[in-house]
Amino acid sequence: MLDKRWQDWATLVAGMWFAMAPWALVQGQVDEVVLYNALAVGIALVLFSAGALAKPETWEEVVDFLIGLWAMASPWVLGYSGMYLLTVNAVVVGLVVAVVAAWTAQERGHLIERFEQWRKHGAA
């Protein structure tokens, strides 16, 4: 199972790291919004990855991709882009999560299958 689902394990670990990063990377006071964002993003990644490990679904890869995009944008949207380590962490973790999610969806053919189903049935 580990070798076939390594992408979900990698996303799960990335989520755990993202949730802990403000405490691990910053030696001082961090705004609550940064902490809440880290916890929300990290916990969401862990939960969706655990769900994907139990029963892979297309929507989980899409959600992981969107969470990865949010993680990358969050320093600027939430106003903590001046915190260098947390910004770099958010961009790197978000990029890894988004790329792995897109790669996994493409590799497993989920997105292509769904698009083809929609095109045949939804567009008719």
- Tell me how many domains the chain contains: 1
**What's the confidence (pLDDT) of residue 114?**
62
- For range 82-109, the mean pLDDT: 90
84 class by beta-carbon count within 10 Å (0-12 exposed, 13-18 middle, 19+ buried) = exposed
In a domain, 23, yes or no: yes
Residues 24-72 pLDDT 10s: 998 778 889 999 999 999 999 999 999 888 887 777 888 999 999 999 9
Burial 1-38 (b: 16+ CB within 10 A, else e): eeeebebbeebbebbebbbebbeeebeeebeeebeebb
**Which two tokens mark 118?**
């929609």
Look up the domain containing 86 and give its range.
Answer: 6-122
**Which two tokens mark 23?**
């405490």
In a domain, 35, yes or no: yes
In a domain, 1, yes or no: no
